[in-house]
Structure 1
């Protein structure tokens, strides 16, 4: 029995399985399969919901070797700070210090916690450190048969957290034989960034012949670091374009003012042409040689002084910045992290009889990703006893260099970038495992599934280098044993360097663990005949228990943001407060109907009730339709509601302090105290909130699929998601920039000076996000070979948000945002050719431009600065040859035309990336990629 023309075309566009269609010419027999988005097994290639299927062969021919690479090309995946680079950084007030090294999915830009990631249709454990979302590094891509992406909320089918959609990674089944594959890629430009991956997969036994099948797959990954110093465009000092570091520290220390110190309240500078009392002075700046120090640059006070600032603020910024050196931290940034990973999957399937099978599945992974951050920075103070002593061997007398009011009889206060301690390096380790056993098959006319699983994830971070215990550091600084003014081209003495090495903190910093125990089952089949066809049903249950705990390590590191004398205090390490073991139980029941209303028109009706311990229950319905009025056209749509419970981390208070490195002018103290006009190094916390309420959503889709010919297909799906009580992190910037609203979140000392900002998770206001997913494909045969052209994209209509009720909603599409960039358009297009043993794919990925960050509240941009971040388009070219016995060789070039990331002058204290944005761009440049696969037959 043949499938009709439209059903076949839906494979290409509506379901996205492009490669599978053009490579197969034979008519397939009728079979029932379960497609992501429904628990009812139906005739293959039927579908009403917008589901995209990406096959393993499609990934291979495009040189994609990881889940993160795949998702970064898709328009549906949000352009957010959920990638491995943004997650593996301390910059950006939104940065979750517990996500280092992880990569997350973020469908519709609604956040990683709103995307449900499944493996063979069932849940896997969230990351052990943050507990908030699944780490895509744990997915065994070498054993994946296909990936199904449901571009619609699925809370009524899979659970309340599927608001943004579902990604279902499906493993190979009944695999026989063995295959060895090697993947290698390296940028053409010198530097790091080389990536290697080796995989071996073997399977034996035939379900039909032997009654069983066993499969084992192991993959190993080894990626090298890529640093900012390896790329010219990654420089953080491009003042003509409006980009300059806002740090006040330097490898050659800046001398700062302070009561009872050598610089006192400031000093005039001979030859400056004015009588200004400068409050921060660097000898190299006086000599016009800030860049003589490693990564040193001249501070640009004009770029960081708003045009509408008061005269007092302008004077204070000039006095503190004209002779200040700082650091080009862009060149020190890590553009791509070093990574070592192992992934293992084993699966055994056993035929009980002709209708029933049992299976056992074990997956395990271990990922080690290093975070390499810029050297730490600190300011010495009289209170901490760390002023440089007059008797110290490296005392720097600025009076000899024209600083007229410098008093060499007093100690020196200074701010120093700890270049001699090296970059701060943290190793983030994430271990995941899942054991699943199950039964599935048919009992009479009904199909059933039963499964029980135990999954867990452990995450921990190790201090490797660059971090110092503060007690010996304070002691060394108080005695002047370390030289903060090492002349350019020279180094610390061997004795000083040995002292530095002796005070470094190394060992386990902290760790967390999540577990997931699940028992689920479903039954589906036909109920009875209706005039238009058979009424089908599915019903099921899902019972699971989730746990999370987080604790500092037994090594006892206590992370602090300033100099102190605690025996276990470590300067600037990203530690979090302990979270005692928490657990919750979730029970759910659901039902689904496929109703043929009349010929060509079907309804999908579903409802699910979830009951959360400690949170409460929720019932979420879903209704969908599929209408095919003619062979060439199909209409589809759905409406459903959702409910997202807060994560354990979002609910747990965290009192560990952070260091806000940007400047802030205190609206209360600045008018009377100039020292409070440019506060640097303000502490803040970004705590969880035990009073958080769940998010609630309403969402829907409406689409059309058109097949004017057997080989041409087009689709468009309108979608909209409305969220209420949205959970988001109130950043330190939100608090400081909205002082009137959050003055109670600023802690002050006895003198009224701000000492701590209390930021963290809140239930914000509502949001409304909508857009159009669209695509087309055309396949044709020619004397030159078989050709397939496809294009898939997302056009954003709006992303209206407000942080607090009472504010008006503001559309964020095409505008800079510290969280997710809602780009107006994203699409990827492929042109694939095949003939005999040869095939090739030419791909393009397009991401629209957007308005750059508005710096008017922070500084003034030069006339030469762009205020629009350019669109970003890259092209890839891959070719494959299968003419060698049992061997497939694929060679390609990513970023064929070596497109640099689009320039952005955003403040790196708000979003990671100096001069570029890792949410959008690829830092590797033109890259050679080679893959060899050999099958043992």
Structure 2
């Protein structure tokens, strides 16, 4: 039996209290959204009727056997109040905010590979790279500097008709990456038009959104074109009190950096704070006191959330050629621009007596001193400006061959171009300026503020660029249909073959070019052992499926992944299902590419900081990941309670040879008992210089004596992850004489999330610890629909957890927020009021204070808390 602690009981009580609030169809539905009461229609035209492609099977006309699929229909999408497709998915408890995220621009969980400020989907906490995202069943081009995720926000939410989430291993159907699960996005096909405008604000930031979709059905074909524009201002760190590295007001320590202005002079390991209120000229040893330290916040002038601007367009077209042949095409194009103010550049400066401002505070006759220095007053913040351009198109012929058989051929092309540049110091110019003997042009690091000639400062301005191109093309053929009939129904099969070619070009900082070709074959068999014609007591239906996929990679070899599924319906109300499969994820081309290494300050045991030589980038010799996944579950829709649906799933994942970056974490030194094999304490001068002198080092080389550790943050086959958990979805809709009501909840409870750094290391359960999956997440909802009015109240709960990055370990409180979503459909008789809907959405309605977390150099956990706080958005939608 699983014991629920007091925080879970409190959440249950909170969910119960939400019944008196307002709701419409919610994203927590396990069933097809079209089968539940929807928001009143808001368009004069209507979606074009079509056969829904169900995620988890390649056989048309059947549901996936044995696997749970969460379906989000158009009504659910409009009810969430989310601005982007990514935000819609992020509200699911099965999705964890770990990995690539615009709010998590740090090293933990490989977030720092996300220089263009995207957000990936991470199912069951297994990583954004282990979740496969599709557009109507077709693979999409990868994003990020390591091509490790796809950000669905580049697809306009106005263009989306339906999203299906297969929370189960899917490599037997879809190939690589489908370890945590699959997200399948399907585009709208309209006969009419719809337009939307929306304005949102959250204190010191605001957001504008405009979008539209126009479609036409002419009988033998259709065309729908959608577009969206979103612009959001930045959120400054200074506007949120918990964005601070001085943790003393919370009972912690002062984590502000000693790289400051005025800076700190180091002589033989002793620190001397440079005096304030002076210009660095004429200082003498008597102006200093040994053992003193200046500190400066890393968050001065920085952003908590970047400025984002997106343009995106999508289209889907179909045309019948004759009675048995049709053509189809769909795709999207998007441009995203982001601006993110990061911390100012810092460095340990080696200043010799040749510098005209030189002073030795120890009065020991030293020929040189070191200065811990921040360039904030000289050069400003390191502002990263990035762009992402994505294009994807797929299409081909579809043929009805007769006898229930159909065939498809397809071609897909996708490209992701990312460009990113940020301020960095020109090292050679800095060295020259420090060695300059002319006081009019030399760099002066001994004053308070900027005390260097502006012309000299201009020579110090450099740029660190990360520019990548990812291209993919795929083509293939597939056919499916019945083989023969047995008493339970038609035995069906699907067969397919495809070839995928990928090119990944790293233009900067270290040019590299990788290419990969993948040849694939797949087969799937569906056997209805018991159906309507041979049903019996406690055996209304019994279906079995088997799928297998073979992938041959040009660079890492081949793999074969099976999947088995079974669904048993003992009664018309109850379905029991189970699945078993093997999954596979290949290293990306960037995983094995060029390294780049730099210097950084890591939080160390006891709360201080240590200067670290940080190894990052690619690593040769990586091996593919493999996983065994299985699940059992039930779906219950009792006939005595129409509108009630219950779903429960137990899943188990055994993930071996997993690729991850456990050392890519500024808290790595505090986890040395776990990451010891990736940490070299007190490295020799030869070890440090070998890395600083080699290609791939980025930054200003420093005296090896300053380097307290080398941390390997590169991708590694870290060994094993074993996780299992329970997911429960409940939904109840009922009608009264007065209104329609709806209540429900979606919860994900991880029983274990065990990890071993190497195959020989012991498995350690890391669930409910900082920077790792939380044990319990849930989203509850309740509400009403009456006439043209509908409203939703959502309660979002994230579990409390252990912050084991500090000593003594900190218990972090749970976090609960409430969202509201109100809609009013006017739908009058005139052209101006027909299909007119007003919307009001409030995210984090009570502006909940995030729990304090001693999180390195910050006072909260951005993996759990969105720093936006309360956000209010008003909008209008008009359909024709």
TM-score range, shorter chain: 0.7 to 0.9
Which 5+ residue runs of structure 1 have no aligned equivalent?
Answer: 1-9, 259-264, 267-278, 294-318, 399-404, 553-574, 666-676, 909-913
Deviation digits for residues 580-629 of structure 1 (CA, Å, limit 9, x no counterpart): 23333332332332332463111111111111112112111111111111
Name 2:738's counterpart in structure 1.
784
Is 1:853 aligned with 2:804?
A: yes
Q: CA–CA distance in 1 between the matches of 2:179 and 2:408? A: 24
Aligned partners of 1:237 and 1:330 also within 8 Å: no
Distance 1:847 1:13, change over 3 A: closer
Distance 1:249 1:93, change over 3 A: farther
Name 2:750's counterpart in structure 1.
796
Distance 1:409 1:706, change over 3 A: closer
Which one of 659, 683, 698 corresponds to residue 599 of structure 2?
A: 659
1:235-246 pair list within 5 angstroms: 235-239=244-248, 240-245=250-255
Q: Secondary structure at the match of 2:76?
A: helix
Distance 1:740 1:362, change over 3 A: closer
1:326-345 pair list within 5 angstroms: 326-330=295-299, 332-345=301-314
Distance 1:218 1:390, change over 3 A: closer
Name 2:548's counterpart in structure 1.
607
Deviation digits for residues 804-845 of structure 1 (CA, Å, limit 9, x no counterpart): 22221111111224xxx2211111112232111111111111
Name 1:148's counterpart in structure 2.
164
Name 1:763's counterpart in structure 2.
717
Distance 1:459 1:25, change over 3 A: closer
Distance 1:742 1:409, change over 3 A: closer
Deviation digits for residues 892-931 of structure 1 (CA, Å, limit 9, x no counterpart): 21110001222210214xxxxx111221111111111112
Distance 1:502 1:170, change over 3 A: same
Q: CA–CA distance in 2 between the matches of 1:816 and 1:56? A: 35
Query: How far apart are 1:471 and its partner, in Å?
Result: 2.5
Name 1:127's counterpart in structure 2.
143
Which one of 520, 534, 550 corresponds to residue 587 of structure 1?
A: 520
Aligned partners of 1:100 and 1:371 also within 8 Å: no
Query: How far apart are 1:644 and its partner, in Å?
Result: 1.1
Aligned partners of 1:440 and 1:450 also within 8 Å: yes
**TM-score, with length taken from structure 2:** 0.84
Distance 1:126 1:626, change over 3 A: same
Q: Secondary structure at the match of 1:648?
A: coil
Distance 1:136 1:389, change over 3 A: farther
Aligned partners of 2:115 and 2:420 also within 8 Å: no
Name 2:573's counterpart in structure 1.
632
Name 1:572's counterpart in structure 2.
none
1:341-490 pair list within 5 angstroms: 341-381=310-350, 386-387=351-352, 391-392=356-357, 405-406=362-363, 412-420=369-377, 421-444=379-402, 445-463=404-422, 466-479=423-436, 481-484=442-445, 486-487=447-448
Distance 1:423 1:185, change over 3 A: same
Aligned partners of 1:234 and 1:331 also within 8 Å: no
Query: How far apart are 1:432 and its partner, in Å?
Result: 1.0
Q: CA RMSD in A?
A: 3.3
Is 1:703 aligned with 2:633?
A: yes
Which one of 64, 67, 70 corresponds to residue 52 of structure 1?
A: 70
Q: CA–CA distance in 2 between the matches of 1:30 and 1:460? A: 41
Name 1:737's counterpart in structure 2.
672
Q: CA–CA distance in 1 between the matches of 2:528 and 2:585? A: 29
Q: CA–CA distance in 2 between the matches of 1:724 and 1:428? A: 35
Name 2:583's counterpart in structure 1.
642
Deviation digits for residues 734-757 of structure 1 (CA, Å, limit 9, x no counterpart): 689369745789863259967655
Q: Secondary structure at the match of 1:146?
A: strand
Which one of 169, 184, 191 corresponds to residue 176 of structure 1?
A: 191
Aligned partners of 1:221 and 1:342 also within 8 Å: yes
Name 1:840's counterpart in structure 2.
791
Q: CA–CA distance in 2 between the matches of 1:587 and 1:532? A: 31
Query: How far apart are 1:125 and its partner, in Å?
Result: 0.8
Name 2:273's counterpart in structure 1.
281
Q: Secondary structure at the match of 1:844?
A: strand
Name 2:615's counterpart in structure 1.
685
Is 1:893 aligned with 2:842?
A: yes
Which 5+ residue runs of structure 2 have no aligned equivalent?
Answer: 1-24, 42-46, 280-287, 536-540, 689-703, 827-832
Query: How far apart are 1:20 and its partner, in Å?
Result: 5.2
Deviation digits for residues 77-101 of structure 1 (CA, Å, limit 9, x no counterpart): 1231321222xx3554844445441
Q: CA–CA distance in 2 between the matches of 1:900 and 1:235? A: 15
Query: How far apart are 1:48 and its partner, in Å?
Result: 4.3
Q: CA–CA distance in 1 between the matches of 2:730 and 2:487? A: 35
Query: How far apart are 1:368 and its partner, in Å?
Result: 1.4
Is 1:203 aligned with 2:215?
A: yes
Aligned partners of 2:506 and 2:512 also within 8 Å: yes
Name 1:823's counterpart in structure 2.
774
Matched residue pairs, number? 798
Q: CA–CA distance in 1 between the matches of 2:320 and 2:791? A: 40
Deviation digits for residues 784-816 of structure 1 (CA, Å, limit 9, x no counterpart): 311111211101110011102222111111122
Aligned partners of 2:416 and 2:471 also within 8 Å: yes
Which one of 685, 696, 703 corresponds to residue 749 of structure 1?
A: 685
Distance 1:49 1:926, change over 3 A: same
Q: CA–CA distance in 1 between the matches of 2:91 and 2:495? A: 35
Distance 1:528 1:770, change over 3 A: same
Query: How far apart are 1:520 and its partner, in Å?
Result: 2.3
